[in-house]
Amino acid sequence: MRDYFTLMAGYNAWANARLLDACEALPPGAFTAERGGFFGSIAGTLNHLLVTDRIWTARLAGTPLPPYGLDTLLFTDLAELRAARTAEDAALVAYIAGLTDEACAGEFRWTRKADGVEVVGPLWKTLAHLFNHQTHHRGQAHDLIGQAGLQTPSLDLPVYQREAGA
């Protein structure tokens, strides 16, 4: 399991960077423009991913959760969002690097913010959700970038594997 999550953590950072690279070509105002997405704008969607990763990082570390909601717009400046995203991805890569297969199979407990329900299961199921969630919302951001008239980058896992030698 650890090898799989190592692959996914690297892919996650790569795909996030590719989306942010694509955003560099947006005209002024387009990053935060309302586009009808689930989180409104490209910025809203990418901020949601950062917010949820910060929540998961806190859960994984056993530290207090950040106080903000899932739709909090932490950064409207692309450079600031990129710096925070890069740091978050590096923290996730480092966390995964420290895991063992035994740890992945071990019990993990967390409490849902929405309703206070405690969820218990193997850590690998939580990690699978984390990476699946990223892929889901990256797809939404990818679509919004295309709606803005930009050429969207390939986010296919085999492209990452080829480029990274993974």
Has 142 been labeled as part of a binding site? Answer: no
Element (H, E) at 119: strand 118-122
Question: Which 8-state DSSP code applies to residue 33?
Answer: S
Q: What is the pTM of this model?
A: 0.94
Write down the architecture of domain 1-158 according to CATH.
Up-down Bundle (1.20)
Please report the DSSP string for 99-152 in residue order.
--HHHHHSEEEEE-TTT--EEEEEHHHHHHHHHHHHHHHHHHHHHHHHHTTPPP
Output the six-digit token pair for 80: 């600031």
Calculate mean pLDDT across residues 108-124: 94
Residue 16 pLDDT > 90, yes or no? yes
Has 136 been labeled as part of a binding site?
A: no
18-42 residue pLDDT tens: 999 999 999 999 999 999 989 999 9
Tell me if 48 is assigned to a ligand binding site.
Answer: yes
Is pLDDT at 127 greater than 90 in this prediction? yes
